[in-house]
Amino acid sequence: DARVTQTPRDKVTEMGQEVTMRCQPILGHNTVFWYRQTMMQGLELLAYFRNRAPLDDSGMPKDRFSAEMPDATLATLKIQPSEPRDSAVYFCASGSDSNIQYFGAGTRLSVL
Amino acid sequence: GDSVTQMEGPVTLSEEAFLTINCTYTATGYPSLFWYVQYPGEGLQLLLKATKADDKGSNKGFEATYRKETTSFHLEKGSVQVSDSAVYFCALSDQIGNQFYFGTGTSLTVIP
């Protein structure tokens, strides 16, 4: 049963620390999305990649967030330095030409 | 630009009641339309989709019809169950799959 795998599932850190979230997309998928979900803002698209190239990262605060795809099996989202307002659930999703997105279970981030 | 507007929640229904969650969209061209469902503690998962006007997507007793004349894609189910309690998201992707838009989500609680 193919699925998107995100690690860690939960992360608690202190303000100012670097946070790295990882995502393994479904094998063969050529698009990867990063979303942030909060009660106040709902689901926000942060960035997305096609064939490992960033297509849109306009939703991402550039000063502290960065997203990369070192290879086709790994996508990373980094926050440095982290702030309490970054506390949220971060989802990765992957897809192919069908435009359907398959979501991971998310990383719940708490920045104290 | 393209966008999706869905009915505000939360919605509370008794078991076996009829469900409608409204969704309207704004788009140029011929978008694909989706309903995703998010169960507590999980990522979003595709519930159903429609790729062209008058298509009806259906899954697990849920249905939605792509209505170009009213730019709508309302989600319906004839008899809800407690297990349908979740958050439902309407979504749109453009023709070439470069842009994706999610609604704000509608929380549904079904009580026995």
* pLDDT at res. A96: 87
Q: What is residue A99's predicted lDDT score, i.e. its pLDDT?
A: 83
Q: What is the mean pLDDT of residues B73-80?
A: 98
User: Of B89, B93, B97, which has the smallest distance from its Cβ to A43's Cβ?
Assistant: B89
How far apart are the CA of B20 and the nearest CA of chain A, in angstroms?
A: 21
In Å, how far is B7's CA from the nearest CA of chain A? 14
The string of pLDDT tens digits covering residues A11-26 is 999 999 999 999 999 9
Q: What is the DSSP letter of A82?
A: -
**Cβ-defined contact of A93 to B97 (cutoff 8 Å):** no
Q: Are A102 and A29 in contact (CB under 8 A)?
A: yes
Rounded to 5, what percent of chain A is helix, strand, coil? 5, 55, 40
What residues of B are in contact with residue A95 (Cβ under 8 Å)? Answer: 97
- Going by C-alpha positions, the residue among B7, B3, B5 that lies closest to residue B107 is B7
Q: Do B105 and A4 touch (CB under 8 A)?
A: no
Mutate to test the interface with A, among B100, B104, B107 (most CBs of A within 10 A): B100
Question: What per-residue confidence (pLDDT) applies to A40?
Answer: 86
- For residue B94, is pLDDT > 80? yes
Q: Rounded to whole angstroms, what are the CA distances from A94 to A19, A101, B8, B78?
A: 21, 6, 27, 32
pLDDT at residue B92, rounded to an integer: 93
pLDDT, mean of residues A92-100: 87
**Tens digit of pLDDT for each residue in A63-92?**
999 999 999 999 999 999 999 999 999 999
Over residues A20-40, the mean pLDDT reads 94
Q: CB-CB: which of A45, A99, A106 is closest to B43?
A: A106
Calculate the average pLDDT of chain A.
Answer: 93
Tell me how long chain A is.
Answer: 112
pLDDT of residue A1: 67
Q: What distances in angstroms separate CA B8 from CA A107, B11, B42, one per listed residue? A: 26, 8, 21
Q: Give the count of Cβ contacts less than 8 A between chain A and B.
A: 44
**Quick check: A97 pLDDT over 80?**
no
3-state secondary structure of A39: coil
Q: Does position B98 have pLDDT exceeding 80, yes or no? A: no
